[in-house]
Amino acid sequence: MSKSTTDTKKKLEHWELVTLLLMVYDFIAILVSYLAALWIRFDCRFDGIQKEYLQTYFRTIWIHAIFCIVVFWFLRLYKSIWRFASYTELIRVIIGTAITGVIYFVIVTFCVYRMPVSYYLFGIIIQFCLTLGIRFAYRFILLLRGRKNENAPYEKRVMLIGAGSAGQMIFRDIKHAKETSEKVYCFIDDNENKWGRYIDDVPVFGGREHIMEAVAKFGIEKIYVAIPSAKPEDKREILRICNETNCELMNLPGMYQLYTGEVTINKMKPVQIEDLLGRDPIRTDMDEVYRYITGKVVLVTGVGSIGSELARQIAAHNPKHLILFDIYENNAYDIQQELRA
């Protein structure tokens, strides 16, 4: 058996074990819930509970507990990943508890014995609290553990541009990702209604005009631009401002990732020169250019970052002679030594 197959089997067995334990817990929680409801109904005294009520409880409760587990199964409450639980799981627990509680009330009242109304009311409330509590407790514990690690050293201080849906998805991904050591220190958004407010203790510092100020104040080293729905001209302006900060700059290309739910750190791309242009880039036939310079005397005026790259490309295509001219001698000397090497 291959290693990948073995790993898959182990994961499957762990999932099955967690599901089984959750079912056992729910079964016990339902038994306890309605017994506690009887106890509360009779002034918190077990010896005060009438015999008929206890007999009815023991005759019906285990069937009700099994029925609840079946309903919970069809509502996918045993298949949810509870570390990412949201209001959807909350609604399912409410629906499952309400449905099973009402059916239990109808069947017991009309087919077995008339129990006090408070028995069902308290039973449903306690069952809801116990079954929901164990599920959200796991997420709460993870949240506390995450806050304890907030003082751990981070490699990079991050600014998120865009406090909308895409920005918040990137924020959650950064916060929970184990493979990255980054921390978001501020949001930037042009919506003035969000300024001065917080998203999970991270401030929305201001609009695009506050980018430079925020970089200086928070010591930002990396910027994620997550505004897929912005107009092209607005996005280009924001990217130009960010490009002046000397921070590492990453961009979410477009709306496709937002529609498909693929808004993650891995979908962010380094900003290309095309992103900063006010037009589509012109595609040049480089083969024709290279043929034109082969065997020619070529002069490059200015050998900074762009001129140096031009010199490298020209030198690689057999010019007759390559002349480098720059006002700073060091620039010309460095690229000369590199090309000779």
Mean pLDDT per 10-residue section of the chain, whose length is 341 residues: 48 70 94 95 90 94 96 88 72 94 95 94 95 82 62 75 86 75 91 91 93 94 86 86 87 50 54 52 66 89 82 87 86 84 78
Alpha helical stretches, state H, 149-187: 165-176
Kindly report, residue by residue over 239-297, the tens digit of the pLDDT: 889 888 888 888 775 443 443 444 455 556 665 545 554 555 556 666 777 788 888 99
pLDDT, residue 257, reads 42
Phi, psi of 156 (to 5 degrees): -140, 140
Bridge pairing between strands 156-161 and 182-188: parallel
pLDDT, residue 229, reads 76
pLDDT, residue 270, reads 65
Q: Angle, to 10 degrees, between the axis of helix 117-148 and the axis of helix 87-111?
A: 160
pLDDT, residue 289, reads 74
pLDDT, residue 280, reads 53
- E-strand ranges in 221-314 read 222-225, 248-251, 269-270, 297-301
- Checking 169-175 for CB contacts under 8 A at 24+ apart, the result is 169/226, 169/263, 169/264, 170/224, 170/226, 170/252, 170/263, 170/264, 170/265, 170/268, 171/199, 171/200, 171/202, 173/263, 173/264, 173/265, 174/224, 174/265, 175/146, 175/200
pLDDT, residue 261, reads 46
